[in-house]
Amino acid sequence: MRIKKPSRMVAHDLDEQPFVHYYDMHPTKEDLMGESAAQSTLIHYLLSVLTHLFRARPCFIVSNLNIYRHRRRYEYPMAPDIAVFKGISIPNPASREFRSWRLYEANRPPPQVVFEFSSEETWQANISKKPARYADLGVREYIAYDPNDPPYWPAAMGRLRVWRCTGDRVVEVNADAQGRVWSDELECWLVPDGALLRLMLPDGRIAPTEAEAERAAREAAWAKLRELGVEMPDEI
């Protein structure tokens, strides 16, 4: 009886295999560090604020997603604490295939804005290395913040630092007399507030989280009903 040898995998078969980046399956050194409570709290807060801020516009806002420039298995990714992709709609970000953001694929532009929140292990890289690295990715604004108490950054630096990237130029933006920095991409002020970084709208209001906005809308509706003489049940 003749035993059939397994056929060789030819080049076009390899091309049909899904390409996987090594660090989509293995932890980076940042993954192994984990997040401090200060970082986690600020990420959760700003994700909610940004989601509400861009609720009427296509925008993909994500935390800790690996970003790659090239189709190279062992390329080390950038994975910002928060990335803002304006003009992008992702129908199903929960898809198993959606493991990373690949700039070399079609319709995968770089984020316009990224945030990094410092820890004892990351603060030096956040302000010395990452501005140029994110500019190289095509990011337009890089926002670094130290939410820790006391901050790891030297006191003279403040908690907030912002860089604008145009072409091959990376320019740090100076804060105004109140410590605020205007974000062209987010169209609001970035305002340090201790452990939180606030977004202030042009009219002076602090941009709310989704929950805060919903609560304010309910209270306004109830107030309008009371003006019309409609009594609301106490348990609502």
- Residue 136: its pLDDT value, please? 94
- Residue 221: its pLDDT value, please? 73
Chain CA centroid to CA 234, Å: 40
- Residue 17: its pLDDT value, please? 67
Residue with tokens 């609720």, as numbered in its chain = 55
Distance CA 7, CA 34 (A): 45
Q: List, for residues 132-185, the tens digit of each pLDDT value.
A: 999 999 999 999 999 999 999 998 889 999 999 987 789 999 999 999 999 999
**Mean pLDDT across the chain, nearest whole number?**
89
Q: Return the amino acid letter for 69.
A: R
- Residue 13: its pLDDT value, please? 45
C-beta atoms surrounding 144 within 10 Å: 26
Domains in the chain, ordered, with CATH? 18-227 (3.90.1570.20)
Question: Ranked by mean pLDDT, which of 77-81, 167-171, 218-222 comes out on top?
Answer: 77-81
Write the DSSP symbol of residue 134: H
The answer to whether residue 106 scores a pLDDT higher than 50 is yes
Distance CA 159, CA 129 (A): 17
Distance CA 164, CA 173 (A): 7
Q: Which residue intervals of the chain are DSSP H helices?
A: 11-16, 29-33, 37-53, 123-128, 130-137, 210-227
